[in-house]
A = this chain, B = another copy of it.
Amino acid sequence: MNEFDFIEKIRARVRAKQDSASALSTQHSALVQGIGDDAAVVRSQTGKDSIVTTDLLIEEVDFKRDTTTPELLGHKALAVSLSDIAAMGARARWGLVSIGLPPDVWETGFAERLYDGYFTLAEQYGVELAGGDVSRTTDKILLDSILIGECDSGRAVLRRGATPGDQIFVTGFLGDAAAGLRLIERGARVHTAVGPRRVEEHSAERLLLRQLRPDPRVGWGILLGEQQLASAMIDISDGLSSDLNHLCKKSNVGAVIDAARIPIDKLVTEICGRRALDPLMLALHGGEDFELLFTVKPENVPRLPRKVDGVSICQIGEITGGTGKVRVAEKDRVWDLKPEGFDHFKL
C-alpha cells in the first residue's frame, strides 16, 4: 500500500465514523473539511473559545519500540493531548496527527495499527481526526499529536487562577506510571501478563499500562471547567513537584502538601517495598500519570462530586502565600519541595 492509498483508507474510516455519528450529533460545531485538502476547516459555535495543544512523542526519548505496541502508541499520542485539553477544563473536538516513520517500519503496517489505537480512544471521547502530515524518517519513529478543544468563551481554566486558601486536589493515584516505567526498565512487558503468577502479573500489568496507555481525566476536566469549580488546573505530566511548581509560579502563590494524603496505590507501595524505593518519591517526582492537579475555593469544595467516570479525587494540600514556595508536611517535619520531575516541557 502506498502512502496515498493509506491516506484514502484513513479518510474512509473517518467518514464512516462521521456518518454513524451525524444522526446523534446535537452540537453546532462542525468539521467543515477534514482529511484531503491543504488544511482542515473547523467551525466553532458562537461564544466558544478554541483550545489548541501539541505534543511530541519521539522514539528512544518518550518510548521504545520494543516495550510498547503501535496501538498503545496511537492511544498515548491522543491521550497526552486529551489530558492537556482536560487540564484547560475544555472538551476535545478535532485532532491532527503528524507521523514520521522509517521505510522499514512503514512496510510492517505499523501506521495502520497506530491509527487503530488512536481511533479507539478518539471514538470514546468524540474526537474527529481532521488532518495531519505523514513523512518518512531515516530511522526513528516520531509522532506529533495536535488537538483542538472548545469551551465557553473566557471559561478556560488556566494555571494562574489559584489564590491562598484554595484547596489542592488531584485525581486518581500518583506514581503509578513511574512505577510502571521502572518495571518496564527491568524487563516487564505488557504481553507477558498471563502465566503461572497470573494475579500478581496482572496487577503489575495495570501499572505498565498506566505508563504505556494512560487514561486522560476527560470527564473531570470538563466537569471542573463547565461548572466553574476549579480556580486553576494543570495535568501531571512532569511529576507533582514540577507541575505544582508551575501552577504556583503562574498563580504567584505557594502551597503546602500533606504527604499522608497523597494518593498512592497499594501495589506501588508494595513494589517499592520489595525494591527499597520510596513510594512517596515516585508520587512526588514521577511523571506521566496524566492525573489532574487543581485548586478549588473553599466555598466550592462541597459542590465537588466524589467520583467522575469511576475516578475519585483527594485533597492533598492548600494554597499559601509565597510565590513558588512549595512545602511538604510529613509527620512532624515540613520540608521544601523542589521541582524534580521529568524535564521535558511545553511552550
Q: Mark A197-228, 1 if CB is under 8 A from B, else 0.
A: 00000000000000000000000000000000
Q: Which 4 pairs, one residue from A and one from B, show the smallest C-beta to C-beta distance?
A: A39-B53, A132-B347, A38-B87, A144-B144
Contact of A40 among B52, B58, B154 (CB under 8 A): B52
Known: A50-B43, A98-B144. A36 touches B345 (CB 8 A): no
Decide: A133 and B144 in contact? CB cutoff 8 A. yes
Q: Count A-side interface residues using an 8 Å CB cutoff.
A: 74
Contact of A134 among B37, B46, B345 (CB under 8 A): B345
Interface centre among A44, A159, A234 (most CB of B within 10 A): A44
Decide: B42 and A50 in contact? CB cutoff 8 A. yes
Q: Mark A91-110, 1 if CB is under 8 A from B, else 0.
A: 00010111010000000000
Does A267 make an interface contact (CB < 8 A)?
Answer: no
User: Which chain A residues (118-157) contact chain B, with CB distance < 8 Å?
Assistant: 129-138, 140, 142, 144, 146-149, 153-154, 156
Contact of A52 among B7, B130, B344 (CB under 8 A): B130
Which residues of B lie under 8 Å from residue A39 when comparing CB positions? Answer: 51-53, 84-85, 87-88, 90, 147, 149
User: How many copies make up the complex?
Assistant: 2
Write 29 A-B pairs (CB below 8 A) sorted by A numbering: A32-B49, A35-B347, A36-B347, A38-B53, A38-B159, A39-B53, A39-B87, A39-B90, A39-B149, A41-B49, A41-B51, A42-B49, A43-B50, A52-B96, A52-B148, A54-B132, A54-B133, A54-B144, A54-B146, A58-B136, A60-B138, A61-B135, A61-B138, A62-B135, A131-B347, A134-B346, A134-B347, A140-B140, A144-B144
Known: A343-B3, A347-B97. A133 touches B37 (CB 8 A): no
